[in-house]
């Protein structure tokens, strides 16, 4: 069986963060014009760092996410939980596909409908995943390096325009809480790494590498929010549909570096591709567990057909999608990506200690 | 996009000829076809409207 390293798997998580982080601005500032929300990635990062120890607890037990669910909840319980994950994950993949196509049709191809972009993305994901998650993870090593390098480069250019007085005071607790929930829901994608635990090598390095990954995504998001809020200020951000795109449009270095927004769109597409393929792959692994099959390659096409037909069904417009994210997907992400693994580990530990005591009693007899 | 599910019967027919598939494949294909058909019949129904309703 082909294997992937923990590092390759965690690089997938880094690539997935860029696209939702850029999208989150408008939802942060849609309700209020307070500047406090930029601190959210730091708080979400600390929460996710604590959560990494829970994931490491599951990883150390030597079980995958699915076998840990079976151990903690029993066979039927695990299947029921798995079914909930599959329904939510499918809708989440469809939502990401919708966001990706909506963003392209809003920013560049304003005269074209969503259909061609969604279908092309679905075909691309099926093609990439049919070669195996190992090949996809290796390909992502290049994508993540590019995403990181370009994002850092752009943010360095943005710092010139930043005015730190736009960042203070941090006095709106509600804005910070809402933004923290959205960001944590985004960072929670790290849980999907456990779906591939059977294929991972160097598991002993999981804790250390996960801490580095969460630190990188937290600092990257913090810097991203910091530079955009300090450049535009919350009042302007509220009026723009894609504030980061608006800020990047302003970047010019002399006459040789202009109109680099095309680069940002390329990064968006690459990050969207990784997130759609990554969640889709996790969900087909889950479908394989639910149907007791290891041949998940055959499931990619029907799975992405379901996601494609679900795309127009999600909502009429961008406003519907934002509301859907805020009211349904953010809470669902927090429950399924953070809360359920904690419960799973807790039940697992209780069961383990119970079984240990039972075997001790037997040996004493 | 609404008609994408129509490739499922074709894919199933071709897929069976090419390789042996197991029950998971047929269940997921069946689901894909039924969901596609359902959404085509109930065109204009949106998840955001159905779930959130008055909050929109």
Global ipTM:
0.89
pLDDT over 80 (residue A326): yes
* pLDDT tens string A134-152: 889 999 999 888 888 888 8
Task: Return the number of CB contacts < 8 Å for A and B.
Answer: 102
Distances (CA, A) of A129 to A64, A133, A163, A301: 20, 6, 44, 10
Tell me which chain B residue has its CA closest to the CA of residue A123: B4
Instruction: Give the whole-angstrom CA distance, residue B15 versus residue A212.
Output: 43
Q: Is the peptide bond before A169 cis (omega within 30 degrees of 0)?
A: yes
Task: Using CB atoms, pick whichever of A298, A299, A323 lies closest to residue B48.
Answer: A323
Kind and range of the H or E element at A358? helix A340-364
| Mean pLDDT, residues A171-183 taken together | 79
- The segment with the largest mean pLDDT, out of A139-153, A247-261, A338-352, is A338-352
Given pLDDT bands bounded at 50, 70 and 90, which one contains residue A112? confident
| Mean pLDDT, residues A267-272 taken together | 86
Instruction: Give the whole-angstrom CA distance, residue A321 versus residue A318.
Output: 5
Given pLDDT bands bounded at 50, 70 and 90, which one contains residue A52? very high
Cross-chain Cβ contact A315/B46 below 8 Å = yes
Instruction: Give the whole-angstrom CA distance, residue A127 versus residue A121.
Output: 10
pLDDT over 60 (residue B56): no
Task: Using CB atoms, pick whichever of A293, A305, A314 lies closest to residue B32.
Answer: A305
Given pLDDT bands bounded at 50, 70 and 90, which one contains residue A28? low
Quick one: pLDDT at residue B18?
61
Which of A11-20, A34-43, A152-161, B14-23 shows the lowest per-residue confidence on average (mean pLDDT)?
Answer: B14-23
Instruction: Give the whole-angstrom CA distance, residue A319 versus residue A173.
Output: 24
Given pLDDT bands bounded at 50, 70 and 90, which one contains residue A306? very high
| Mean pLDDT, residues A89-112 taken together | 88
Quick one: pLDDT at residue A25?
60
pLDDT over 90 (residue A283): yes
- The segment with the largest mean pLDDT, out of A98-112, A271-285, B7-21, is A271-285
Cross-chain Cβ contact A295/B22 below 8 Å = yes
Which tokens in the block code for residue A200? 């991972």
Instruction: Give the whole-angstrom CA distance, residue A273 versus residue A267.
Output: 10
| Mean pLDDT, residues A7-19 taken together | 87
Which of A13-17, A139-143, A237-241, A354-358 shows the lowest per-residue confidence on average (mean pLDDT)?
Answer: A237-241
**Which residue did the predictor score with more confidence, A57 or A227?**
A57
Given pLDDT bands bounded at 50, 70 and 90, which one contains residue A197? confident
Which tokens in the block code for residue B5? 């599910």
| Mean pLDDT, residues B7-11 taken together | 81
Residues β-bridged to residue A201? A5
- Of A120, A119, A114, A116, which Cα lies nearest the Cα of A99? A114
- Average pLDDT score over chain A: 84
Which tokens in the block code for residue A204? 């002993």
| Mean pLDDT, residues A66-91 taken together | 91
Reported pTM: 0.90
Given pLDDT bands bounded at 50, 70 and 90, which one contains residue A26? low
| Mean pLDDT, residues A206-222 taken together | 90
Q: Write out the residues of chain B at the interface with chain A, using a CB-CB cutoff of 8 A.
A: 1-2, 4-5, 7-8, 11, 15, 19, 21-25, 27-29, 31-32, 35-36, 39, 45-49, 51-52, 55-56
pLDDT over 90 (residue A53): yes
Quick one: pLDDT at residue A2?
66
């Amino acid at each position: 069986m082909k294997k992937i390293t923990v590092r390759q798997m965690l690089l997938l998580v880094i690539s997935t963060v860029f696209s939702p982080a850029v999208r989150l601005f408008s939802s942060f500032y849609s309700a209020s014009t307070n500047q406090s929300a930029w601190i959210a990635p730091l708080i979400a990062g600390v929460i996710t760092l604590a959560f990494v120890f829970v994931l490491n607890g599951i990883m150390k037990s030597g079980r995958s996410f699915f076998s840990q669910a079976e151990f903690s909840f029993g066979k039927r319980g695990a299947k029921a939980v798995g079914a909930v994950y599959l329904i939510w994950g499918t809708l989440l993949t469809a939502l990401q596909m919708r966001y990706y196509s909506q963003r392209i049709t809003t920013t560049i191809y304003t005269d074209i409908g969503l259909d061609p972009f969604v279908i092309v993305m679905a075909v691309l994901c099926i093609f990439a995943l049919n070669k195996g998650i190992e090949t996809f993870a290796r390909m992502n090593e290049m994508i993540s390096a590019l995403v990181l390098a370009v994002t850092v480069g752009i943010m360095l250019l943005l710092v010139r325009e930043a005015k730190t007085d736009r960042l203070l005071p941090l006095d709106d607790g509600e804005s910070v809480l809402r933004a923290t929930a959205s960001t944590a829901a985004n960072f929670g994608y790290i849980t999907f790494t456990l779906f591939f635990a059977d294929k991972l090598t160097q598991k002993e390095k999981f804790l250390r590498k996960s801490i580095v990954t969460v630190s990188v995504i937290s600092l990257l998001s913090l810097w991203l929010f910091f530079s955009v809020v300090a450049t535009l200020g919350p009042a302007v951000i509220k009026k723009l549909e894609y504030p980061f795109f608006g800020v990047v449009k302003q970047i010019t270095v002399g006459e040789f570096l202009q109109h680099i927004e095309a680069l940002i769109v390329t990064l968006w597409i690459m990050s969207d591709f990784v997130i759609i393929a990554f969640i889709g792959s996790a969900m087909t692994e889950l479908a394989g567990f639910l149907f007791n099959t290891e041949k998940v390659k055959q499931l990619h096409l029907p799975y992405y057909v379901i996601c494609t037909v679900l795309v127009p069904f999600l909502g009429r417009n961008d406003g519907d999608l934002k509301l859907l994210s805020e009211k349904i997907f953010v809470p669902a992400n927090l429950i399924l990506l953070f809360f359920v693994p904690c419960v799973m580990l807790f039940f697992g530990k209780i069961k383990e200690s119970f079984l240990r005591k039972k075997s001790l009693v037997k040996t004493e007899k | 996009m609404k008609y994408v599910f129509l490739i499922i019967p074709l894919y199933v027919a071709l897929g069976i000829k090419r390789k042996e598939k197991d029950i998971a494949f047929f269940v997921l294909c069946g689901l894909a076809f039924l969901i596609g058909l359902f959404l085509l019949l109930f065109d204009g129904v949106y998840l955001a409207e159905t779930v959130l309703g008055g909050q929109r």
